[in-house]
A and B are shown apart, each in its own frame.
Chain A
Amino acid sequence: MKSGSNLEKVLTAGHFAFTGELGPPRGANVEEVRKKAAYLKGKVDAVNITDNQTAMVRMSSWAASLLLIQEGLEPNFQMVCRDRNRLAMQADILGAYAHGIRNMLCLSGDHQQFGDHPQSMGVFDIDSMQLISMVKKMRDEKTFLSGAELDEAPNMFIGAAANPFAEPFEWRVHRLAKKINAGVDFIQTQCIYNMEKFREWIRRANDMGLTEKVYILAGVTPMKSVGMARYMKSKVPGMDVPDEVIKRLQGAGKGKVAAEGIKMACEQIEEFKEMKGVAGVHLMAIEWEHKVPEIAEQANVLPRPQVD
């Protein structure tokens, strides 16, 4: 075991993993975190805690992760390269580990221009690839990025994101291979709507032997409305939403679109369970945490395995 996190145990035992996501509040509202966490408890193996997502200031991801631990859930601490330099990053990794955080997700971060402080300086001292190798180095070589020894290693289960859809498509699997070489243990993909393209991506990853070296969790976000699907298609960079998805939601009829969105997500999850190279699902039900129990139920992923 690299970290002994619940997520790592579930994956190494060969179970189909199921992770969730929680966005910290735009304020110091502890109750909101606890309320969202309550919906997720027992329904997922770990919960991603986003780090100033979409470049909007929120409660820090490590602090919200600690609240999650208090509530008896396992956080997956997200860290973006946009907001801190390598000193602050390493300090936060050590601090997070010291407080019981065992999973982390290494991300570049959305550009600051999208958020509520577009005047800020984007740090990007290191990039997500370099962050992965830095955490690995701290864990496995017990040294800081500088090479200096550290007093007790942060044994993190190291995650990263992958976008299976963005052009150039041919480069996608090579980029995954690079992350594996950098030292990633698990991958959570961008939200998947274009199943055909995803199947092709995972086939290539299988052919290159990559899925044997890393656990891949397929990203799923149920569509709440036709408007959301349209927005995702046209406004969210890197998102691939085929027209059929929008058509199917439109066909659901008044008042039934959200249910249809959940049904579509569950169908995807069923397919992922059987798909070679997919080790689990990462459910991003953004601001829809209260629906997670229902989705988990309908997707037949309950009860969650207990691995010692």
Chain B
Amino acid sequence: MIVAKRKPFDEIKDMLKGYKKVLNVGCGTCVAVCLAGGEKEVDVLNAELDMARRLEDNPIEISGFTVERQCDREYLEALDAVVDEYEALLSMACGAGVQFLAERYPKKPVFPAVNTSFIGVNQDVGWYEERCRSCSSCVLGMTGGICPVTMCAKGLYNGPCGGTNNGSCEINKDQPCAWYMIYERLAAQGRLDCIMDVVPPQDWRNQTPRTVIQPGYKKPEAA
């Protein structure tokens, strides 16, 4: 899932300082699962904003509306009827959701309430770890299911580097060396041949916005 973390309260408060009527739009998918921007977090943030603004003698009228998925047009529709009542929108979705919201209501200022952090896994309640940088050409088959782009501090395709330190990465004793783990896993599986050849330079064209169209589908003429 996509993992996000709520922005520091003062930063959010500062973005909204000129607005008196705001709708906080939560998202019920990834950011709800990682406890950053679901219905509950919308309520908490709104209560905090309400209180803080009252103390400042600058009250804000803030409501909440959590959609199933902010990155899906189908679910945004429900907002159409209410958006006009507000001066600005606050979004607790990931960066994609915030943009989709801003795109749908181009006349409304839209502010992000979370910092979108990474694609990761749930290690325990409230504890998430990054696992994928969505590089667009997955090499996990060659690397024993351990991502060199994400888990190696230098994103090396032909590691480990000279700094590998008895299983730890050179940056920190508590950070495992991805390439040490890759070696160990492949060795245990008898598949070291996977990393014997030099991997050629990566195609980083993923730095332009990417599009995926699944087989059997096509891009609609007009969105």
Contact = CB atoms under 8 A, between A and B. Distances in A.
Interface of A: 81-82, 86, 107-111, 113-114, 122, 124-130, 133-134, 145, 161-163, 166-168, 170-171, 174-175, 177-178, 181-182, 190, 237-238
A169 B157 CA distance: 19
Prevailing SS type, chain B contact patch? loop
Interface stretch (B64-72, B127-135, B158-166): B158-166
Contacts of A111: 153-154, 163, 170-171
Contacts of B165: 166, 237-238
A129 B200 CA distance: 9
A89 B44 CA distance: 50
B171 A126 contact: no
A171 B163 contact: no
Interface stretch (B34-42, B98-106, B180-188): B180-188
B40 to A, nearest CB: 34
Nearest to A162: B162
Contact of A174 (B156, B157, B196, B199): B196
B180 A168 contact: yes
Contact of A133 (B155, B192, B198): B198
A108 B187 contact: no
Interface string B181-207: 001100100001000111111101000
A83 to B, nearest CB: 12
B28 interface: no
A181 B199 CA distance: 11
A125 B163 contact: no
Contacts of B180: 167-168
B167 A167 contact: yes
A86, A125, A238: most-surrounded residue (chain B CB, <10 A): A238
B157 A130 contact: yes
Contacts of B153: 111, 113, 122
A81, A109, A122, A175: most-surrounded residue (chain B CB, <10 A): A175
